[in-house]
Chains A and B, each alone.
Chain A
Amino acid sequence: MTAAAVPSLALVSGPEEVLVERAVARFVTAAKAAGADVIRVDATGYEPGSLILHASPSLFGGTKCIVVRGLHESPDELQLDLLSLLGGPLDDVSLVVAHGGGMKGKKVIDTLKKLGADVVDCPAIKSDRDKSDFVMKEFARARRKITSDGVRALVEAVGKDVRELAAACAQLVADTEGTIDDAVVDTYHGGKVEASGFRVADAAVAGQAGEALRLLRHAIATGVDPVPIVAVLASQLRQLIKVGAAGRGSSAQLAKTLGMAPWQVDRARRAVAHWSGDGLAVALQAVAAADFEVKGGGRDPVYAVERAILTITRARAGH
């Protein structure tokens, strides 16, 4: 967006903080570039009437950009002030309103839309599918290429937190050249807890007991906590069960209904061919037992994970 694009009304709508901050920052930068004063109004703890005061023409002239964050948790007074502000002419004032979702403040949203506000959607980035989409958009925006394996590796390594995911994308764009694949991602994020957890889980689900145990020992030796490894084991087996139960259909379609990324569906489909339902049940129950032991129910957390891995690989072979 260029500096010239300062809409007089903007609505930033949705709960995803990273996107909200980004959108608000874009409007603020544009407003500042156009010489406007930026005034921020916090919705919680709003002083009634202060919005109207901020919006009134200043003694020294000049334009203003008023940013209201958190409309969805704002007191009624702020909503009333916003409505009355929107009811009159807005001279030399642009207004950016952020709303995190829900019914509160709906009237203000409707009014903003009716008045033709610029609307930026910031939907929650929750499922792995959302995260994959987000990563692909991030790289497309930077006019960079990333392979589907690269997307997978990145989401696995740092996908737990959207903010961290966004930062990792920015870092890869800045620090690397050419197409980004899983090898590139691994050099930057391979040491992450999640990444090593995924390697252990991949080996276990593939029935490679020796390899899984070796990777586990290595991860523990480098200071990785067993808790997140167990969590990854659980999530991988869960995906196998879901994909196995979903039956036929295109990967894309399944990905949509299961909230998974298409590559996750493909991988789970390949893996699940070697599993029976009962085998998966035994495996996931072993992981739950291990989680309990790791959380203090047993004496030796590492042994608990090792035993779960052996149970998993045996459950696969037994099909």
Chain B
Amino acid sequence: MTVWRDLVGQEPTVEVLSHAVRTEGAMTHAWLFTGPPGSGRSTAARAFAAALQCPQGGCGECRECRTALDGSHADVKVVATEGLSIQVRDTRDLVQESALRPSVGRWRVIIIEDADRLTERAADALLKALEEPTPRTVWMLCAPSLEDVIITIRSRSRHIRLRTPPVQAVAELLERRDGVDGPMALHAARAAQSHIGLARRLARDEGARIRRRDVIAMATRIVGVGDAIDAAADLAQIADEESTASTAERDAAERSRLLETLGADPTARTQPPHIRSQLAALEKEQKTRATRHARDMVDRSLVDLMSVYRDALVLRLGSTVDLINPDAMDKVRGLSAVFSAEQLLGCLDAITEARDRINANVPPLLALEAMALQLRVPRDLNH
């Protein structure tokens, strides 16, 4: 047992981090973890934190290790934001906290899981702490890529780059940690293209598997322009439903919490102006968040959709790379039979274009329609 057991497929990183734990001279006060979504950035940071607190350098069994890993260690603070951004007031609190000596552990560790969401001013506030480090304090920032973090923070931290873990390693993790049976774990890891969180969800949530299958089936079913419009509407709707279901409850809770903090009477039919404006600000943020969530959902579906064209291209070119969708061979074969390599690239381009457009605020439905129209096949390949 070690603290590194859930950080799969990242052997070089484990090497570097455990060396830093063992060797005083190799330690530094600010670390920046980057890597593709689902590669285990925050898992890496937590494991590192645990190893630093553990008297044995990361046994994975002792109290220090366990509490650091599950986020309850008194000297390991994990900042994970559900919001769109981390504000300057949040970082100011963190900076204050970072100046304190560790209370029980050997280090005070502050992990910011979404450093890419620091606003510019928030990042500036953080910079002070990074420039004048407190002796036993360690910052660990996580972001998708270096470009997502402002350069002044980048230049003051040691960079750890995670890679996309191999499918086999993700499957083994699902088996060992989540008790998923072998074939399902392999299927999920492959379908999620090694995104650990997605793979776990696919393995455990039948609804997610069905949605993914429906998305993939779309590729072979769009024949006429009417089919394209319907397929786009289906894609947009899946995302909408998922996102409202997952945000409605939290929105209501946030609202009552805000009213409570402001000392407002929640039963009042009309709130005084200053409270109204705060409520309006919250609603605006919630709406932005819902939109973003819906977009993320669409994006996830589009990544799934792309995978079947990538497979078809692999087949068409006679390459021996492993397929992402071996369980949808009929569809992959059908597409590679009716489309040339050129046309398959055109389909992939159309999907990429839709993702870019949605990112640039084009209404998802319209972007998806334009894409689906490009994906039309000469005949229904499902029959």
Contact = CB atoms under 8 A, between A and B. Distances in A.
Given A40-B269, A291-B362, A295-B361, A285 B374 contact: yes
Size class of the B contact interface (CB-based, 8 Å): 20 to 34
Most buried by B among A41, A46, A241, A297: A241
Given A277-B224, A281-B225, A289-B370, A44 B362 contact: no
Interface stretch (B75-83, B183-191, B201-209, B252-260): B252-260
B140 interface: no
Contacts of B265: 45
10 contacts: A42-B267, A45-B265, A242-B229, A244-B226, A277-B225, A284-B366, A285-B373, A288-B370, A292-B367, A295-B360
Contacts of B135: none
A304 to B, nearest CB: 12
B267 A41 contact: yes
The list of the 3 closest CB pairs from A to B, nearest first, reads A245-B226, A45-B266, A288-B370
A37 interface: no
Contacts of B363: 231, 234, 291
Nearest to A102: B248
A68 to B, nearest CB: 11
Interface of B: 224-230, 252, 255-256, 259, 265-269, 356-357, 360-363, 366-367, 369-370, 373-374, 376
B292 to A, nearest CB: 16
B369 A238 contact: yes
Interface of A: 40-42, 44-47, 73, 231, 234, 238, 241-242, 244-246, 277-278, 280-281, 284-285, 287-289, 291-292, 295-297
B362 A241 contact: no
A-side interface mostly: helix
B357 A246 contact: no
A246 B259 CA distance: 50
Most buried by B among A242, A277, A292: A292
B370 A284 contact: yes
Contacts of B226: 241-242, 244-246, 277
A292 B366 CA distance: 10
B269 A292 contact: no
Most buried by A among B226, B256, B366: B366
Contacts of B268: 42
Most buried by A among B229, B265, B367, B376: B229
